[in-house]
Amino acid sequence: MDVTLRVQRFDPEAADPKSYWEDFQVAIEDNGTVLDALIKVREDTDGTFSLRCSCRSSICGSCAMRINGHAGLACKMQASKVMEDGVITVEPMGNMPVIKDLVVDFDLFWDKIMAVEPYLKHEGPEPEAEYIASNEAMLHLSGVTACIMCGACVSDCTVMEVDPSFLGPAALAKAYRFTADPRDGDENGLSKDRLEELTKPSGMWDCTRCLECVAVCPKGVAPMDRIMALRDQAMEAGFHDTIGARHTEAFSDSLEHSGWLDELRLVPKSLGMTNISALAGYAPIAIQALTHGKMPPIIHKKIEKAENVRKIFDKVQGPEQR
């Protein structure tokens, strides 16, 4: 099978070090992977071509890169299934500096992983025997522990594109692996210190739920789902006095009581009614909305049959929690 690889390359030692595109034509087996084709380029066409790879079995995560615009493992993608008009576009992962060709610098990735303290931290007296965790608890954690640290989720995180300080999906999913572990935290498995740190700016509340990390994860870890679970944990632990928590509660209350979102009051309730400086920062947006006829109604009325929306809340939360 003939394959055309359109590869984004970068040589830091070039006279004018800028990224550029180069096409390679290679012949591989009909069931060959994108990684097979890339290795063919390196071995038979251009020995200066750089990429990372190791196990070729979707275990080590070394060959993560962007293929046709989205991150994934080159060893897991069959070339015949990802070709578009006979062409496969390959780029280095995003949100990390490129070292050479498809090789990126993972320092930022590992710094963020270490920032969440990825190890068990038991609070209180040491137990007299070994730590015991239920089978149910460990089965729940099996999904998140499947992470192979390939960085695909970080590569395609839309928040990190605009805010590199964001902890990112991989680090937050790793944090959840410990906050959800009954052996972490106090005797009840509550990791309040961890959760308090994660509620700070650039933490769990900065995720915009774009679902990119879920879409590209090759192991089904679903980092965004773990971030949403972290938010639930934080609020259950009593961390309500954050912009993210207030936003969630204001959003939920509006839907539950009127059946639709009260956009006019969402921002002040999220920021805090007494947070004058933050509210003033939104004044230009409010003025622009007003002048363009986009200002939400001042009087927020219930939609017809709003009680049907409340029934959904009752079914999810239970009437006793309302």
Condensed to tens digits (0 to 9), the pLDDT of residues 98-136 reads 999 999 999 999 999 999 999 998 887 777 888 788 899
Nearest CA-CA partner of 299 in 265, 273, 268, 259: 265
Q: Where are the domains of the chain?
A: 2-104, 107-236, 243-321
For residue 215, give both structure tokens: 């879409």
Question: Domain spanning 107-236: which superfamily?
Answer: Alpha-helical ferredoxin (1.10.1060.10)
Condensed to tens digits (0 to 9), the pLDDT of residues 59-93 reads 999 999 999 999 999 999 999 999 999 999 999 99
Task: Tell which wins on pLDDT, 51 or 129.
Answer: 51
Is the pLDDT reported for residue 319 higher than 70?
no
Output the CATH code of domain 2-104.
3.10.20.30
pLDDT at 125: 78
User: Please, which pLDDT band fits residue 38 given cuts at 50, 70 and 90?
Assistant: very high
pLDDT at 219: 97
Total residues found in the chain within this entry: 322
pLDDT at 317: 79
Nearest CA-CA partner of 51 in 17, 92, 18, 11: 92
Task: Summarize the confidence of residues 42-69 as an average pLDDT.
Answer: 97
User: Please, which pLDDT band fits residue 320 given cuts at 50, 70 and 90?
Assistant: low
Rounded CA-CA distance 55/71 in Å is 18
pLDDT at 321: 56
Distances (CA, A) of 40 to 4, 46, 100, 211: 12, 9, 18, 33
Condensed to tens digits (0 to 9), the pLDDT of residues 224-243 reads 999 999 999 999 999 999 99
Task: Summarize the confidence of residues 165-194 as an average pLDDT.
Answer: 92
Phi and psi torsions of 20, nearest 5°: -150, 165
Task: For residue 231, give the amino acid letter.
Answer: R
Task: Tell which wins on pLDDT, 322 or 315.
Answer: 315
% of the chain surpassing 70 pLDDT: 98
Task: Give 6's strand partners.
Answer: 23, 89
Task: Summarize the confidence of residues 175-196 as an average pLDDT.
Answer: 90
Q: What integer best gives the mean pLDDT of the chain?
A: 93
Is the pLDDT reported for residue 211 higher than 60?
yes
